[in-house]
Chain A
Amino acid sequence: MSNIILEMRNITKTFPGVKALDNVNFKVREGEIHALVGENGAGKSTLMKVLSGVYPYGTYTGDIIFRGKVCEFKDIKQSESLGIVIIHQELALIPYLSIAENIFLGNERAKKGIIDWNDTITHTRELLKKVGLNESPNTLVTNIGVGKQQLVEIAKALSKKVQLLILDEPTAALNDDDSENLLNLLLEFKKQGISSILISHKLNEVSKVADSITILRDGATIETLSVEKDNITEDRIIKGMVGRDLLHRFPKREPNIGDIIFEVKNWNVYHPLHDDRKVIDNVSFYIRKGEIVGIAGLMGAGRTELAMSIFGRTYGRKISGHIYKDGKEVHLTTVSRAIENGVAYVTEDRKNYGLILIDDIKRNITLANLKKISNKFVVNENQEVLEAEKYRKKLNIKSSSILQKTVNLSGGNQQKVVLSKWIFAQPDVLILDEPTRGIDVGAKYEIYTIINQLAMEGKGILLISSELPEILGMCDRIYVMSEGKITGELSREQASQEKIMKYVVGHKKGA
């Protein structure tokens, strides 16, 4: 068929301690829609950042060949000048500028630094027509919905004479109609000869529009499927995405499960800014003593929002529902109340929400429970040193001393400090949100051991994770969340990666 427009050959990219991409090969043909799929952390976004020059030439190994020429991009500008344009998951529009200003931002229609507004508006009109957006070029971006903003991004890409359009999860925030609209637009571009790379978790969309599908797993290319040759089904794609060795990655534990310790009933939460957007939709679940309960799902499924809305209502508005601790209803309206009632939440974002990076290990560990080492007002610093030392030893926090600033610790050790803090708060229920994100394998095992130990002590654990093997390896029972709802519940015996994936992706196009 047609020519190869882009080839990425043997791309390897390492971050400190992690190999994010390992000899990845990836080919896109002229005028096709090529889908890139894989689990969270499989390396899709990293690969696209390498391609667009976000990670400049020299920080990775391997070759990028675009239209037969080897490219060495130093920044995004260089890749854009060749017509490679990436639209990120988080839209990069400036809310209080108009559509026209946004489209030509950094690329202004100007002579000697003075903007030609007539030219700008005319061009914007043309571009908006192409993407089928019926709005005035002078409308502020903040005044149009997410779906339309996505179209503005695409119009912006078109203004740069795009030849290869990369869309990272373009429909994640869109409703069904807007998604449909966007996919049709991609098909339209295809007719005009523009190639696209589509990163998506929504396999129904992928199988609808893609000509080829490349599957990444753990930073490596697994296979490339072609619509012409292969018989592509969602099951076939899921099989490629999952399926890896689970042995020996998780410490053993004999579950000793007791009565229900924590239960949430009919929990509803609305978005803090958009009043009409329901983020959590009638969720009910329970945790028993000594049980590790998993919540699986994709990013954006509402798992973190669920956890934070429960933990002192730190997320969302118009929250309704009931929480029971040991059978009695509790009202965890503030964080301190949640802590007093024995609930702890270990955040997924330890640097921004978990640690005070400029403070030392000691002060971070004791922050959530200063009561324990003080007589109401005055902190007993000697007692504090003893406690901090205890946790440093117990959780094996590798550091020069408890006076080391947490900013200088590795990810795994930072996470151990956060865990220490919450264990020190003496909770009965721990909500762990992505506790092993960005942590190397060895430290992961240590953290799994700590989690198991907490369960053995009779605490209830809620483990939120995007990594299916982690969920399967650690949990006694698993809930699957998708778009704010719990779409399935599986026992340890029933659960498999394929079954979970089906609940994750299958939910949407039942409708």
Chain B
Amino acid sequence: METLKTMFKSNIRQYGMVIALISIMLFFQVITGGILLKPLNITNLILQNSYILVLAIGMLLVIVAGHIDLSVGSVAAFVGAVSAILMVNYKVPVGTAILVSLLIGAFVGAWQGFWIAYVNIPAFIVTLAGMLVFRGLTMVALKGMSIAPFPEAFQKISSGFIPDFFGGKTFHIATAVIGIIFSVIYIIFELKKRNTQKKYNFDVIPMAFLIAKMAGIVAVINLFTFVLATYKGIPNVLILLFALIVIYTFITSKTVAGRHIYALGGNEKAAKLSGVKTKSVIFWVYVNMGVLSALSGLVFAARLNAATPKAGNGFELDAIAACFIGGASASGGIGTVVGAIIGGLVMGVMNNGMSIIGLGIDWQQAIKGLVLLFAVAFDVFTKSRSA
């Protein structure tokens, strides 16, 4: 029981965010008269927010490392523009074009990472410059016009759904099956974890509690896939997002590289004196951010089915806000991928809910700003209390 208490205490911020997300969802579910959680709207929610969530994952690493990246929106637009030129103007095959686009993202990240890590120019300045540079280059590349339409295969990234192998008519059977498969994988994973912990003679959570926890999560997974199945099934982009979340959660929490990022953000000097290659860690975090910005740009272009000079405007701020709402610390060293995703969803649900009830974009902005402020204030408050 003691371990449960400490577990809850040390993760109070995470649980707090989940509770906040659920409350916001329930609130809008009621106030919109049940529209929010309709299958169609949930699908829309995922599609609308996917590109911000992709950015938020990369931004989380940057913020945990103690830096910031203001250029991601412009970089996304730039890469979207280049991909359009490749695919629409030059008829480059989709796969090749995507690969080239991601590589360009990596180069952009390397460029900014170089100035930040090795020349010691503050990230705020370098990426502010990058924001201007790549916005400008986007307009140059597009000559101020939009390029459209993309090949069908490319559009599928954002607008497509996984095919139903079982040929369901009104119900997407494959989606429901995937839900069940994931449930099984999850249960096996939990049990295996418990077994290794036992092997090490650690205290494990009581079986009854574990079963309750597993039942809850399995229920959520299957409810979610069931709801999606009653519409068109799982969107392709959700698969992409899910893969990214799993991969980056693993990197941040289980790998040596992840540890080094947190150590760097927590105390750069101490990390350096402990043998962490701080400069190269910063460099690679920005390369990673560049690749994810590119990916986000592709997803956005595919959803819009056009590359436009104004694409990605303000994305950087949404991504940064998602991280902070999700519990990341502005001074570095603290934050989780799942937190950033939840933070992004909180904003996404609020956008969506407020739009449904017909609140203007003006008020939406103001309310989002206040949510960001209060979320971080809550953070500071709980921290000063526990210290």
Contact = CB atoms under 8 A, between A and B. Distances in A.
Interface of A: 311-312, 314, 334-336, 338-339, 345, 347, 352-359, 363, 367-368, 370-371, 374, 376-379, 381-383, 385-386, 401, 403, 407-408, 421
5 contacts: A335-B275, A359-B266, A367-B276, A401-B6, A403-B6
Interface stretch (B45-53, B80-88, B100-108, B250-258): B250-258
Most A Cβ at <10 Å: residue of B269, B274, B387: B274
B262 A359 contact: yes
Between B259, B270, B272, B387, the greatest number of chain A beta carbons within 10 A of the residue's beta carbon is seen for: B270
A439 B275 CA distance: 26
Contacts of B202: 382, 385
B275 A352 contact: no
B269 A352 contact: yes
B268 to A, nearest CB: 10
Contacts of A358: 266-267, 329, 333-334
B197 A370 contact: no
Nearest to A340: B275
B317 interface: no
Nearest to A369: B275
B259 A367 contact: yes
Given A355-B270, A385-B202, 5 more contacts: A334-B275, A368-B275, A374-B255, A382-B199, A407-B387
Contact of A314 (B10, B266, B273, B276): B273
B271 A356 contact: yes
Contacts of B200: 382-383, 385-386
Contact of B259 (A336, A379, A383): A379
B236 to A, nearest CB: 29
Interface in B339-387: 387
B277 interface: yes
Nearest to A400: B6
Nearest to A335: B275
Interface in B185-230: 196-197, 199-200, 202
Contact of B275 (A336, A359, A377, A378): A336
A381 B256 CA distance: 11
Given A359-B333, A368-B275, A403 B10 contact: yes
Contacts of A378: 254-256
A132 B262 CA distance: 52
Given A356-B263, A367-B259, A386-B200, A381 B273 contact: no
Contacts of A379: 254-256, 259
Contacts of A334: 275, 277
B277 A363 contact: no
A423 to B, nearest CB: 13
Contacts of A347: 273
B274 A368 contact: yes
A306 to B, nearest CB: 15
Nearest to A386: B200
Contacts of B256: 370-371, 374, 376-379
- Interface core residue of A311, A312, A377, A401 (most chain B CB under 10 Å): A377
A63 B263 CA distance: 47
B205 to A, nearest CB: 15
Contacts of A368: 274-275
A92 B191 CA distance: 61
Contact of A339 (B262, B275, B333): B275
B274 A421 contact: yes
The 8 A-B residue pairs with the shortest CB-CB distance, nearest first, are A356-B266, A368-B274, A336-B275, A382-B200, A356-B267, A335-B275, A367-B274, A339-B275
A311 B272 CA distance: 11
B361 to A, nearest CB: 38
Contact of A356 (B197, B254, B257, B333): B333
A236 B334 CA distance: 55
Contacts of A401: 6
Contact of A353 (B259, B269, B333, B387): B269
Given A347-B273, A407-B387, A352 B259 contact: no
A311 B255 CA distance: 26
A345 B254 contact: no
B267 A382 contact: no
Contacts of B270: 352-356
Interface string B257-292: 101001100110111111111000000000000000
Contacts of A383: 200
Contacts of B329: 358
B263 A359 contact: yes
Contacts of B266: 356-359
Contacts of B10: 403
B333 A377 contact: no
B4 to A, nearest CB: 13
Contacts of A311: 273
A381 B275 CA distance: 20
Interface in B38-64: none
Interface in B271-316: 271-277
A5 to B, nearest CB: 44
Contacts of B259: 363, 367, 370, 379
Contacts of A371: 256
Contact of A355 (B196, B267, B275): B267
Contacts of B257: 377
A334 B278 CA distance: 11
A377 B274 contact: no
Contact of A367 (B254, B263, B334): B263
Instruction: Please indicate which of the listed interface residues B259, B272, B273 has the most CB atoms of chain A within 10 Å of its own CB.
Output: B273
A383 B254 CA distance: 12
Interface string B319-330: 000000000010
Contacts of B6: 401, 403
Contacts of A381: 254
A447 B10 CA distance: 30
B81 to A, nearest CB: 35
